[in-house]
Amino acid sequence: MTSVRDLADDLHVLTLDADPLAASFFGEPGYEDRLPDLTAGASERLVTALRTVLDRADALTPADAGEEVTLAAIRHAAHSGIAWSQVALVECSPGPYGDGPAALVMAASRTVPETDEAATAHLARAGAYAEYLDQCAERLREGARRGRTPAAAVLDVAIAQCDGWLAEETLGPLGSVEMPDPEQSVELARIVTSSTRPALERYRATLASLRPVARADDRAGLSALPGGQADYDRLVALHTTLPLTAAEVHQIGLDACHDLAERMTTLGASLGLHGLPAVVSRLREVVSQADPTAAMEAARTAVRRAEALAPQYFSPPLPAPCRVEPMDAGMGRAGMAPHYAPPTVDGAVEGTYWFNAEIPGVGGGWDLESVAYHEAVPGHHLQIARDQLRTDLPKLQRQANVTALSEGWGLYAEVLAGDMGLYSSNEQRLGALGVQMMRAGRLVVDTGIHALGWDRERAVTFLRERVPVGEAFLVAEVSRYIAIPGQALAYMIGQRELLRLRADAQSRLGPRFDLRGFHDAVLGHGQVPLPAVAAAVEAWIGSAGG
């Protein structure tokens, strides 16, 4: 008879078979020679298989609280996969955040084939780049035939990104993976030249052909597409894991922006900055003057300081130190925000905070420490790399990405850093409030664009008046929200839920409240939806006598 653990393992294999790039992201062996099948037929088959998983889950009875949480993780992962297939952003949203050449570049930048077997597998994957890119192009054409055209803002970013890679002989990281044998390097170069480059040129030509029919800035939202409102509702549920409407999220964002404006104004006054416009202007000025090399070194110092204190706030196992390195130049020029990539399970690639050294933006000024704590420790690195060490958990819970928890934890970590005494100055504390404002603004802008009919300029203006980063970065951020609807909601919604759970536990436990114990309860089951986290915290409170 199938157990809960067996079903979790079956679902994990199913999801990795559907997305071998995700397997490579975590270094899961056996997938290095494959790429996703992006055809509509493959998507339909995946949905059928995921519905079978849900039927099997309904037939199971959990034996304990741990299995109850695992079942919640199974149901969330299956419903998420179905929702992704139904929304089909591959048909209408090219660019640096989804399916397409950027996904290949991201995977190649993490590929380290140290053996002949691994090199052979990577060459097989490289040989499939052309088919993958052709599938991406075909799905975009299919979408256009059904009126699901890309937004011009996103399309322009994707075209510029392709032009950047095509200008390089190696197509960026695609042809510069270091192979263990010179002959293998020659073969990779041959594949990139004779197969990948023509495919990337065809993909770029498809993007250009869609430009005349692309959605204008006043129709950039998902709701402008056929069935788009229902699709956005699916994504709100997927990314928040809570029963919230777009209108409710929008109001939460407005309220948070108001509260943060007051806090920024109060703290700014202590630094001689009077009024929110003066605070925003000064924070933006500092970012524009940032030296990327010096900023990266300061981020490393902040991360090491946090790592030294982590044992006081978290139980073992604790991960190895987090690297801080510059991201791929093409990604940086496209305006990608600083971000974290976890270590591979085989240890070949270390957990890394990838810093944007091309366009000064988030993480480069007075917000340097808060973003480092979000991406590295006590944020994503501590959470995600620690998950990989928890071999007692199903791989589904160690290698999935529940954005409401992972990004909610990252934003919670920025607040926790204050509790840990990690901020070195009032300037850095003010910068931390500035990036909190950006996440609050995301709730307003993402829902504004995709549910309330906001045009792109209205979104940029709303952020410009409140969020202390440069114009180029703000414009890139809005393009990101257009490209991946709903994802930006996960950050502050997740943080609010974690802070609510902590405040409730503190109130009920009083002097028995233990912060390490609370963190163990939140992180103890890996990547699970927020209602399952709440159940785990409730069980911990009960065990502690609350």
pLDDT digits (tens, 9 = 90+) for 472-491: 888 989 999 999 999 999 99
503 burial via Cβ count (<10 Å: 0-12, 13-18, 19+): exposed
Give yes or no for a contact between 222 and 485, defined as CB atoms under 8 angstroms apart: yes
pLDDT of 238 reads: 96
Residue 461: per-residue pLDDT: 97
Write b or e for each residue in 302-329: b if 16 or more Cβ atoms lie within 10 A of its Cβ, otherwise e: bbebbbeebeebbeeeebebbbbebbbe
pLDDT at 212: 97
Give pLDDT, residue 546: 66
Whether pTM exceeds 0.85: yes
Q: How does pLDDT run along the chain (546 residues), one tens digit per residue? A: 689 999 999 999 999 999 999 998 888 889 999 999 999 999 999 999 999 999 999 999 999 999 999 999 999 999 999 999 999 999 999 978 789 999 999 899 889 898 999 999 999 999 999 999 999 999 999 999 999 999 999 999 999 999 999 999 999 999 999 999 999 999 999 999 999 999 999 999 999 999 999 999 999 999 999 999 999 999 999 999 999 999 999 999 999 999 999 999 999 999 999 999 999 999 999 988 888 888 889 999 999 999 999 999 999 999 999 999 998 777 777 667 789 989 988 777 899 999 988 876 789 899 999 999 999 999 999 999 999 999 999 999 999 899 999 999 999 999 999 999 999 999 999 999 999 999 999 999 999 999 999 999 999 999 999 999 888 888 989 999 999 999 999 999 999 999 999 999 999 999 999 999 999 999 999 999 999 999 999 999 999 876
CA distance linking residue 81 with residue 89, whole number of Å:
12
The per-residue b/e assignment along 402-425, b for 16 or more CB within 10 angstroms, e otherwise, is bbbbbbbbbbbbbbbbeebebbee
Sign of CA dihedral 341, 292, 482, 111: negative
What's the pLDDT at 334? 65
**Burial per residue of 216-227, b for 16 or more beta-carbon CB atoms within 10 angstroms, e otherwise:** ebebbbbbbbee
Burial class (CB in 10 A: 0-12, 13-18, 19+), 333: middle
Name every residue whose Cβ is closer than 8 Å to that of residue 394 and which is 6 or more positions away in sequence. Answer: 5, 8, 9, 12, 70, 73, 526
Q: Environment class of residue 51 by beta-carbon count within 10 Å: exposed (0-12), middle (13-18) or buried (19+)?
A: middle
Q: Is 212 exposed, middle or buried (0-12, 13-18, 19+ CB in 10 A)?
A: exposed
Cis peptide before 317 (omega within 30 of 0): yes
Residue 544 three-state SS: coil
Residue 91: the pLDDT is 97
Is the bond into 101 cis (omega within 30 degrees of 0)?
no
Residue 27 pLDDT:
81
